[in-house]
Structure 1
Amino acid sequence: MADVDRRKRIKIEDKKVKGTLVLMNNHSISTIKDEVLLGRKVSLQLISAAHCESTARGIRGKLGNETNLKNWVSTVITRSTKGDSTFDLDFDWEEEIGVPGAFLITNRHNSEFYLKTLTLEDVPNCGRVHFICNSWVYPEEHYNKQYRIFFSNQTYLPWKTPEGLRHYREEELEELRGNGTGKREEWERVYDYDVYNDLSEPDKGSDHVRPTFGGTPDYPYPRRCRTGRPPSKTDPDTESRVPILQSLTIYVPRDERFSDLKMGDVYAYGIKLVSQGLRPGFEAVLDKISDEIVGTLENILKHKFESIPSNKFNEFSSFEDVLKLYKGGLPVPKFEFLESIREKIPFEFFRELFRSDGEHGSKFPVPQIIQGDESAWRTDEEFGREMLAGINPVVIKRLQEFPPCSKLDPRKFGNQNSTLTEDHIKHQLDGLSVLEAISYNKLFILDHHDPLMPYLRGINETSTKTYATRTILFLQKDGTLKPVAIELSLPHPDGDEFGVISTVHTPAKEGAKGTIWLLAKAYANVNDSGYHQLVCHWLHTHASMEPFIIATNRQLSVLHPIHKLLHPHFRDTMNINALARQTLINAGGLLEKTVFPDKYAMELSCNMYKEWAFTDQALPADLIKRGLAMKDPSSRHGVRLIIQDYPFAVDGLEIWSAIKSWVTNYINIYYKNNNEIQNDTELQQWWTEVRTKGHGDKKHEAWWPTMQTLDDLIQSCTIIIWTASALHAAVNFGQYPYGGYLPNRPATSRRFIPEPLSADYDELETDPEKAFLKTVTPQLQSVLGISLIEILSRHSADEVFLGQRDTPEWTDDDMALDAFEKFGEDLREIEGRILEMNLNEKLKNRNGPAKMPYTLLYPSSEVGLTGRGIPNSVSI
C-alpha cells in the first residue's frame, strides 16, 4: 500500500499544468520575442488560494516555481482576438500549491506589454482556472515589488477570501492607492484625488485664469484624478498644464487609457476637427505651432472657402446657406493638404487618416433633425417635443406657481420674479384659467433664469449677447406641449440689486413679431444648449462619475463582487475627462469657444453642483422632483407619469427598472442580510471615501444613503450604472442628430432683439432668415461646434453596450452569469417595445413634425453616428 501511495504522489508531482497566456499584439511584442529568444525572461509564479506559508511580510499563499514564456505563437482567430499573441506555458504541478487563486508575473525585458488572460487547463482537483488580466505590465524596475499580481475570476467578499490570497488582496489595494505624493508617471496605476486646479494658465496672463473648482464653499466640485504635476510658474496654487501637443499623454492610471483602437479613432476625429474646425479650432488644438504652420493652415482654409465671397465668410445669409454644410456647397480640404504640414508638427495627431468606422473625415453628415423635413425644426410643436424627446429632456418641470418665482437672494439680486401675467397666456389654454391649468397639471416650464442670471452681466460683456429665459408650455389634449410664452430677462442697467428688465413674447407667425418669436425660441435654446453641455452632460455624468471610479479602484478589490459589477461602467471615463480638462473645459478651450457662457462656463457648472444630490440622480426621484411623475406603488415602475407620452421618461423607466432588477439579482447572490453589508470593510471604506473625498464638498449632506442595508447598496449601484450608461447616452449621443443643424440648437447668440424703428428691426420683417442667422452662432464658430459635437456623438469601434461585457468569462459564478443573461434578455425586449412605440401614430412625441423617432435609449447600436445605443460607460 505504501508503494502505491508513493507512486501516486510521484505521478502528481511530475504532472505539468498547461497554461495559455494571451498578450495584445503591439509594437512591443516583437521586442518580447527577441528578448525571450536571447534568454531574457518574463516569468510567472502561481499562488495557492488555500495553502499558506509564513513570510517576513506575513501569511501568504504558497508560491509555485517560476515558469518562463516559451513557444511564441501568433494567432488571429476572430475579429475580437485579432492582433493577439499566444504563449504556451508549462507549470510544474506541486501538490502543496493546490488550487491557484492568483499568479505573479515579472517582466524583465525593457518594454511593456498588455496582458489579456491566462488560462490553466486540467488543474488537479479543479479543472480549468481562468485569469482575466486586461492590464499593462511594465518592466520590473517600475514596481516597488518588481512583480504584478493577477487574481482568478473568482469572486470573494473580504471575509470569505481564502487565507492565501488575503495579504495579496490588501497589498494590491495599497499599490493602487499610492502615497499621495509625487508626480505620476505613465506606467503608474495610482488612483488619487485632486481639485480642478489645472484649468487655468496664469503664465499666459489674466485672461487665462479661472478659479480652482473644489475644496471651498464658494466653488464646490467633484474631485478629479490627481496627476501630481508641479505648479505653474506664476501661481503656486495652479497646477502646470501639459503642452497642447502632448494632450494625449496627460496622466491617468495606465489601465484607464484608451485602447489602441479607440486612440486611433481619437486621432482621426482630431483630424476632422482640424480639417473642418477652422482657425478657432486650430488655435485650441495646435496651440504652440509655428507661424509658418499657422500660415499653411490659413492657406488651407482659404482654399476651403475660396468659393465663398469674402464678405460672407463669417455669416450665413439664409437657411439654404446652412444646408450647404451637408450638401457639399462648402468645399472642404482634401487630406493631402494636411499631409503638406504633417512633418512640421511634432505630434502623432496626423498618424491616422481614417477612423475605424471607415468613414472619410471631410464631410458633415445630414443631421437627423432635417433628414425627414428641413423646416420642421421651426414649428412650435417640434420646439416643445424636444423638451421631452430631445437632447436635453431632463430640465423641464411642471409649473406649480404662477407667476414663477426666483430663488435668488433678493438682497444681492433684487426682485427676480417673473413678470408673466395671466393676460399673456389665457387665450392659449383651451378655455382654462391659469389656476385651473396648474391644478390639472397642464402647465410646464423650462426655467433657465436662476442658473444663468448671476453670470449674465459678465457673459454679455463678452462677444455673447443673450437673455436669461423662462419658457411656459401647455399640455394639449393630444399629449404634445405647446409653447405659450417666453420671458427674456436682462440684469438691470443700474445694478444687480435693482432686479431685472424683462419682456414677454408669445407665439406669432408673420412679420416682425413672427421673427421675434422665432428668436425668442432661439434664445431659450441657447440657454438650454449651454446648460445641457455644462450641467446635464459634463457635471451630472462625466464629473460626478470620476470620484466613484477612483474610490472603487482604491477600496474595492478586483475580487469584490461590487467591483466586478461596476467596473464595466467606468471604462474610458477617466481618459476622456482628462482630455476634456486639457482641451475642452480649460481656460480658452473648445467649450468656452462654442457655448455662450464663455469664460463663465465652469463657474456656472460649479454653481449648479451646489444643488446636486446623489439620490436625486435616480430616474424616479428626478421625475418626482421635477413634478413630472408621482409616486404610485401600484405602477410597474413605482411612479405614474404626468405626461404619458414622455419618450425619455417612458424608455428611461424601462431601462432603469431593468438595471435595478439586474443589480438586485446580482447583489442577492453575495449578500444575505443587512449585517453582511455593515460588516463588509471594503464596502464601507469605499462608500465613506466616495462621500468624504470624492464628493468631499458634499460630505455633510443628509441625502447620502448610509450603506447599512441591502436596499442602500442596490439603490446606490443602480444610480451609478444608470448615470454612467443610460443617462449619459440620453444627453450625449443626440448632440449631432439634434444640434448638428445649428439653427435648431444654436449654442450662442450675438445680439439682442433689435429696437423698433431701427434698420435691424426692419430686417426682422424684410429678411427674417438673415436676421435670425445674424443673431445666432456665426459660420466659423458653427463649423467648429458642429465638428466637436459630431465627435462626441459617435460610437467607437470598440464600444461595449449595456448588457454586454468585453469578455464572456468576467466571473466564474454561474448564478451571476445567469442573472446577467437575464439582463440582456430584458434589454432586448425593451428594444422591441421602443420600436413598437415609435410606430404608434397616437404617440406624437415619439417622432414629431421632424419625423425623427426617439431612439436615444435604444440599448444597442452599430459603430458610428447612429443616434441610438447605450454604452456601458461615459466613454466619450
Structure 2
Amino acid sequence: KESSILVETTKVLYTYIILYIIFAILPEYVSEHWKEDDFYGFQFLNGLNPKVIKRCSELPPNFPVTEEMVKPFLEEGSSLQEEVKKGNIFLSDQKKMEGIPPRAYNGKPLHVTAGLCLLYLNPENKLMPIAIQLHQQPSEQNPIFLPSDSETDWLLAKMFIKNVDSMDHEAVQHLMKTHFLAEVYTVAALRSFSGIHPLYKLLIPHFQYTLFINTDGRPTLFGPDGALSIVCSLGYDGLTELMRRALSETTYSSLCLPEDITARGLESIPNFYYRDDGLKLWDIINSFVKAVVEYYYPSDSEVRKDNELQEWISEIFTHGFLGNKASGFPESFHTVEEVIKFITMVIFTVTVQHAAVNNGQFDYYSCVPNISLLLRKPPPTTKGQSSMETILETLPNVGETVNFEAMVCLLSETYSDMVPMGSYPDERFQEPAPKQMIKEFQAELSNFSEAIATRNLLLKIPYSYLDPAHIENSIAI
C-alpha cells in the first residue's frame, strides 16, 4: 500500500513539474535562446513541425551552395561532399509554398518565401543551420545567407524560414493532417459502422470530440475571419491553397511513422525525441490493435466479407483522399494485416501525432521572434542592409502579437476533464478478452510514461509532448 501511495505521489509531483516546465521554464528558455543556431536546428527535430526535415543525399540543383560558402562551419579538414556522404547534411525545403498568393496587409500584399535551409549535424551532435536561400530560384536578388553574414541578416533569413515552417505547421501538419483527417475517419465510421461493430467500439472513444472541435473551430480559427487567417501571412485563400497542395502530395506511408522516418533518412540522427517516443507509441498501439483485430478477424476472409469495414475504408478513400490511387491509401481491405496497419495509423494520428504538433504551441510560439506566422516587411534581397530596427519592423506589432499569443495559449490549454490516451470509459466491449487487452494497453502506456519522465530528468530541454499521460484520447482542442 505504501509503495502504491509513493508511486501516485511521484506521478502527481511529476505532473506539477511538467506543468511548471511548460508554462514557465520552456517559454523563458525560448526567449533567451531563440537567436542561437543550435536551438534553431533543435526545433526542426523536437519543435512544432518535426515532419519536414530530411537527410540530404545530394544538393538540389536550385540551391547552389558551394564548398567555400560552408567550409568554415564544418568539421575542420572536412568538406560538404564528405559530410553529405557521412549522412550529416539535412534539408528543409518548403517548395510547396512557391506561388501561393499572400494576403493583403494595409492595402499591400505580404511576402511568403518558399525557402530552403541546409543543416549540418556537427561532431557535438548539434544540428546547425549553415545555409539559407529564401526563394526556390537562385538569382542575384536571392542570395544564399550564411552564419558568417551580419547578425541581423542571418536572423532575418532564419525568421523567414520559420515563418513558412509555421504556416505549414498550423495549416498542414496540425489542421489538415490531424483535425481534418480525423474528421474524415470519424464521419466515415458513423456512416458505415453499426454501434455494435467491434471496430466501432474500438475507434469511437478516439473520435469523441472530433466533430465538435472541428465544427466550432472551423469558422473561429480557420475561416475567412478566423484567428489563424488574420494572424498569418497567407490568409484564408492562401492557407486553403496550401492545404490543397499538401493533400495532393500526402501519401499513406507519410502518415505511418516508421515508414516516414525511413523515407526521410532520419533513423539514426541523435537527440530526435519525437522519433524515439513516436516509434515506441506506434509499436504499443500496433500491438494493442493487432490483438483486438485478430480476435474478431481470425482470417483474411473475415475481413473481405465484412461489408461495414469495406464501406468505411471506401468512404475514406473516396471522400477523404478524393480517390487518388497515387497516394497509396487502400481502397478496400483484403487482409487482417492491412486492417491492423490502417487502424494503428488512425489511432496514432488522433492521439500521438496531434499531441506532437499541438501541445507545444505556447512553448515555441510564445516568443514571437522565435517563430512568427506573420512577417510584415519583405525578405532581404541583398546582404548588409539590415539592422535590429529592420527586424522589429518585420515582426508583428503589439496588437497582432497579443491576438496570436491568445490563440496559441488556447490551443495549448489542458482542461481538467482531459481524457488521457488509452481510456475506454464506456466499457463497450463485453467479452473478457478485449477487456484484458485494454488493461494491457493501458499498462504499457503507463510504463512508457514513467520511462519518459526518467529520461526527461536528464535533458536540458525536456520533451514531454508524447508522454501518454499528457496525450488526449481524441482531438479535443
TM-score > 0.5, shorter chain as reference: yes
Structure 1 residue 463, shift from structure 2 partner:
4.7
* Counterparts in 2 of 1:433 and 1:578: CA distance versus 1, 3 Å: same
* Counterparts in 2 of 1:594 and 1:712: CA distance versus 1, 3 Å: same
SS at match of 2:464: coil
Instruction: Determine which structure has the larger strand proportion and give its number.
Output: 1
**Would you say 1:625 and 2:263 are equivalent positions?**
yes
Mapped contact 2:102–2:233 kept (Cα < 8 A): no
The equivalent of 2:129 in structure 1 is 483
The equivalent of 1:859 in structure 2 is 468
C-alpha distance in structure 1 between counterparts of 2:239 and 2:52, whole Å? 18
**Would you say 1:425 and 2:70 are equivalent positions?**
yes
Structure 1 residue 388, shift from structure 2 partner:
0.9
Q: How does 1:24-423 map to 2 (within 5 A)?
A: 368-372=25-29, 374-402=31-59, 404-405=60-61, 417-423=62-68
Q: Which amino acid aligns with 2:35?
A: R
Structure 1 residue 594, shift from structure 2 partner:
1.0
The equivalent of 1:778 in structure 2 is 397
* Counterparts in 2 of 1:444 and 1:490: CA distance versus 1, 3 Å: closer
C-alpha distance in structure 2 between counterparts of 1:820 and 1:574, whole Å? 25
* Counterparts in 2 of 1:829 and 1:710: CA distance versus 1, 3 Å: same
* Counterparts in 2 of 1:591 and 1:555: CA distance versus 1, 3 Å: same
Structure 1 residue 697, shift from structure 2 partner:
4.3
**Would you say 1:529 and 2:166 are equivalent positions?**
yes
Deviations 1:621-669 (A, max 9, x none): 11112221xxxxxxxxxxxx22132110001111111100110111121
Q: 1:689 aligns with which of 315, 318, 323?
A: 315
Q: Which amino acid aligns with 1:557?
A: S
SS at match of 1:378: coil
**Aligned alpha-carbon RMSD (Å):** 2.4
C-alpha distance in structure 1 between counterparts of 2:258 and 2:468, whole Å? 19
Q: Which amino acid aligns with 2:228?
A: L
Structure 1 residue 753, shift from structure 2 partner:
4.9
Q: Which amino acid aligns with 1:784?
A: N
The equivalent of 2:441 in structure 1 is 823
The equivalent of 1:467 in structure 2 is 113
**Would you say 1:579 and 2:236 are equivalent positions?**
no
Structure 1 residue 384, shift from structure 2 partner:
0.6
Deviations 1:112-153 (A, max 9, x none): xxxxxxxxxxxxxxxxxxxxxxxxxxxxxxxxxxxxxxxxxx
The equivalent of 2:346 in structure 1 is 720
Q: Which amino acid aligns with 1:606?
A: R
* Counterparts in 2 of 1:753 and 1:706: CA distance versus 1, 3 Å: closer
C-alpha distance in structure 2 between counterparts of 1:582 and 1:613, whole Å? 27
The equivalent of 1:590 in structure 2 is 227
Q: Which amino acid aligns with 2:400?
A: Q
Instruction: Determine which structure has the larger helix proportion and give its number.
Output: 2
* Counterparts in 2 of 1:798 and 1:613: CA distance versus 1, 3 Å: same
- Show structure 1 runs of 4+ deviating over 4 A: 365-368, 456-463, 699-703, 753-758
Q: Which amino acid aligns with 1:708?
A: H
Structure 1 residue 469, shift from structure 2 partner:
1.5
Count of residues paired in the alignment: 453
**Would you say 1:747 and 2:373 are equivalent positions?**
yes
Mapped contact 1:456–1:468 kept (Cα < 8 A): no
**Would you say 1:814 and 2:454 are equivalent positions?**
no
> TM-score normalised to the size of structure 2?
0.89
Deviations 1:297-342 (A, max 9, x none): xxxxxxxxxxxxxxxxxxxxxxxxxxxxxxxxxxxxxxxxxxxxxx
Q: 1:803 aligns with which of 403, 422, 427?
A: 422
Query: Which structure 2 segments of 5+ residues have no match?
Result: 1-21
SS at match of 2:434: helix
Mapped contact 2:30–2:367 kept (Cα < 8 A): no
The equivalent of 2:5 in structure 1 is none
SS at match of 1:473: strand
Query: Which structure 1 segments of 5+ residues have no match?
Result: 1-364, 406-416, 493-498, 629-640, 841-845, 861-868
SS at match of 2:374: coil
C-alpha distance in structure 1 between counterparts of 2:49 and 2:128, whole Å? 17
Deviations 1:43-100 (A, max 9, x none): xxxxxxxxxxxxxxxxxxxxxxxxxxxxxxxxxxxxxxxxxxxxxxxxxxxxxxxxxx
**Would you say 1:833 and 2:467 are equivalent positions?**
no
Q: Select between 708-717 and 798-807 the one with higher mean Cα deviation.
A: 798-807
Structure 1 residue 456, shift from structure 2 partner:
5.3
Structure 1 residue 595, shift from structure 2 partner:
1.5
The equivalent of 1:4 in structure 2 is none
C-alpha distance in structure 1 between counterparts of 2:86 and 2:101, whole Å? 34
Mapped contact 2:313–2:331 kept (Cα < 8 A): no
Q: Which amino acid aligns with 1:539?
A: M
* Counterparts in 2 of 1:656 and 1:489: CA distance versus 1, 3 Å: same
Structure 1 residue 681, shift from structure 2 partner:
1.6
Structure 1 residue 592, shift from structure 2 partner:
1.2
C-alpha distance in structure 1 between counterparts of 2:355 and 2:274, whole Å? 11
Structure 1 residue 703, shift from structure 2 partner:
4.2
Mapped contact 1:800–1:806 kept (Cα < 8 A): no
Q: 1:792 aligns with which of 411, 425, 428?
A: 411
Deviations 1:402-425 (A, max 9, x none): 1x24xxxxxxxxxxx223222221
How much identity, in percent, do the aligned residues show? 29
Mapped contact 1:733–1:793 kept (Cα < 8 A): yes
Q: How does 1:703-714 map to 2 (within 5 A)?
A: 703-704=329-330, 706-714=332-340
Q: Which amino acid aligns with 2:474?
A: S
**Would you say 1:517 and 2:135 are equivalent positions?**
no
Mapped contact 2:102–2:234 kept (Cα < 8 A): no
Q: Which amino acid aligns with 2:308?
A: E
Mapped contact 2:103–2:110 kept (Cα < 8 A): no
Deviations 1:755-795 (A, max 9, x none): 7799xx4x71xxx2x43222122211111011011111112
* Counterparts in 2 of 1:572 and 1:428: CA distance versus 1, 3 Å: same
Q: Which amino acid aligns with 1:735?
A: Q
Mapped contact 1:429–1:474 kept (Cα < 8 A): yes
Mapped contact 2:142–2:381 kept (Cα < 8 A): no
Structure 1 residue 597, shift from structure 2 partner:
1.2
Mapped contact 1:729–1:857 kept (Cα < 8 A): yes
Structure 1 residue 565, shift from structure 2 partner:
0.8
C-alpha distance in structure 1 between counterparts of 2:346 and 2:155, whole Å? 39
SS at match of 2:34: helix
**Would you say 1:507 and 2:152 are equivalent positions?**
no
The equivalent of 1:653 in structure 2 is 279
C-alpha distance in structure 1 between counterparts of 2:359 and 2:464, whole Å? 10
Q: Which amino acid aligns with 2:466?
A: L
Mapped contact 1:490–1:500 kept (Cα < 8 A): no
C-alpha distance in structure 2 between counterparts of 1:606 and 1:853, whole Å? 35
Q: Which amino acid aligns with 1:828?
A: S
Structure 1 residue 462, shift from structure 2 partner:
4.4
Q: Which amino acid aligns with 1:388?
A: L
* Counterparts in 2 of 1:459 and 1:389: CA distance versus 1, 3 Å: farther
C-alpha distance in structure 1 between counterparts of 2:242 and 2:104, whole Å? 11
C-alpha distance in structure 2 between counterparts of 1:546 and 1:828, whole Å? 28
Deviations 1:238-275 (A, max 9, x none): xxxxxxxxxxxxxxxxxxxxxxxxxxxxxxxxxxxxxx
SS at match of 2:48: coil
Structure 1 residue 439, shift from structure 2 partner:
1.5
